[in-house]
Amino acid sequence: MPELPEVETVRRGLVPAMEGRRIVAADIRRPDLRWPLPEKMGERLTGARVLALRRRSKYILGELDTGETLLIHLGMSGRILISGHAVGDFVHEASTPQKHDHVILDMDGGARVTMNDARRFGAMDLIATKDLDAHPLLAGLGPEPFGNAFSEPYLVRRLAGRKTPIKAALLDQKVVAGLGNIYVCEALHRARISPKRLAGRVSAERVGRLVPVIRAVLEEAIAAGGSSLRDHRQTDGELGYFQHSFRVYGREGQPCMTDGCPGEVRRIVQSGRSTFYCPVCQR
């Protein structure tokens, strides 16, 4: 499941191909992904210029000059590939559509953007830009982790008195948008906070410390994605998936990486999801 850094990496990879460019052809090759695709999607996209390509939580939002915004969600297995003529560094040949290539956008710069999704848990939608915030997938989302609204006082206020484990509280998309299982584990490890501790029982000082820590783990992963993007441009044009080494996630039974900590990473299950943490330095 792509997390925020992967989605941000895909967005950055798409910017040179799509931003400021006009969609000259839109080939919608099936009626649905996870949900039905919007009616007359091809007609509504063809001729539209992409004014800006943004990200909200794990959604890529292409604002069009038609007054609509194209929403892209990668779901579990969604992939985006860029091919076609040289745009920036992209020099991949546009090939004949492959199995699971569901939506193909040809841009006026010569790039072809292909949405491929074998399991079809992904989604695409077209929404009136003025109504974007009310869209069911976007309404109620908390602040972006990099936004000013995600501040230390905000998080302290939001977690005060909460009787759920801090890990669950941070996964709550109403608290902070786009944070997923991997990066919550990483942030709690770096902040040395036990994932089992009730959110309302973590001191304000330690909760406040989480804000810069969450930003740091996401920024590092995005930076790793950026370097993978450069590699991918030389290979198959697929955006966004990269090897990134985690300090705690997926490291069950291995030594804790906190300086001087003799602990061993342990895995537990919380709300049906794996949590990796160090019982020695995370309190």
Query: Which residues are tagged catalytic?
Result: 2-3, 58, 273
Q: Which part of the chain contacts Zn ion (CB under 5 A), choosing from 66-74, 162-170, 233-241, 249-257?
A: 249-257
In the complex with Zn ion, which residue's Cβ is closer, 71 or 256?
A: 256
Nearest to 24 by CA among 112, 115, 106, 126: 106
Q: Which part of the chain contacts Zn ion (CB under 5 A), choosing from 56-64, 149-157, 246-254, 258-266?
A: 258-266
Beta partners for 81? 114, 238
CB of residue 189 to Zn ion, shortest distance in Å: 8
CA atoms within 13 A on the CB side of 266: 13
One of 34, 49, 263, 267 touching Zn ion (CB under 5 A) = 263
Tokens representing 207?
A: 């909760």
265 binds Zn ion, rule: CB under 5 A:
no
Q: Which part of the chain contacts Zn ion (CB under 5 A), choosing from 20-28, 64-72, 81-89, 261-269?
A: 261-269
In the complex with Zn ion, which residue's Cβ is closer, 81 or 187?
A: 187
Distance between CA atoms of residues 233 and 161, nearest Å = 48
Q: Which part of the chain contacts Zn ion (CB under 5 A), choosing from 42-50, 69-77, 153-161, 257-265?
A: 257-265
CB of residue 195 to Zn ion, shortest distance in Å: 13
CB of residue 263 to Zn ion, shortest distance in Å: 4
DSSP 37: P
- Burial class of residue 205 in the structure, from the number of CB atoms within 10 Å of its CB (0-12 exposed, 13-18 middle, 19+ buried): exposed
Distance between CA atoms of residues 60 and 146, nearest Å = 16
CB 149 within 8 A of CB 159: no
One of 50, 210, 221, 278 touching Zn ion (CB under 5 A) = 278
258 binds Zn ion, rule: CB under 5 A:
yes
CB of residue 112 to Zn ion, shortest distance in Å: 47
256 binds Zn ion, rule: CB under 5 A:
yes
200 binds Zn ion, rule: CB under 5 A:
no
CB of residue 109 to Zn ion, shortest distance in Å: 49
CB 170 within 8 A of CB 184: yes
257 binds Zn ion, rule: CB under 5 A:
no
Is residue 230 helix, strand or coil? helix
279 binds Zn ion, rule: CB under 5 A:
no
Distance between CA atoms of residues 7 and 253, nearest Å = 30
Written as one string, the DSSP assignment of 104-136 is EEEETTSEEEEEEESS---EEEEEEGGGGGGST
281 binds Zn ion, rule: CB under 5 A:
yes
CB of residue 213 to Zn ion, shortest distance in Å: 15
CA 166 to each of CA 3, 17, 91, 240, 245: distance values in angstroms, whole numbers, following the listed order: 19, 40, 46, 29, 23
One of 51, 198, 261, 268 touching Zn ion (CB under 5 A) = 261
Q: Which residue is associated with the tokens 């590092």?
A: 220
Distance between CA atoms of residues 89 and 22, nearest Å = 19
Please count the residues of this chain forming the interface with Zn ion, following the rule CB under 5 A.
Answer: 7
| Residues within the interface to Zn ion (CB under 5 A) | 256, 258, 261, 263, 278, 280-281
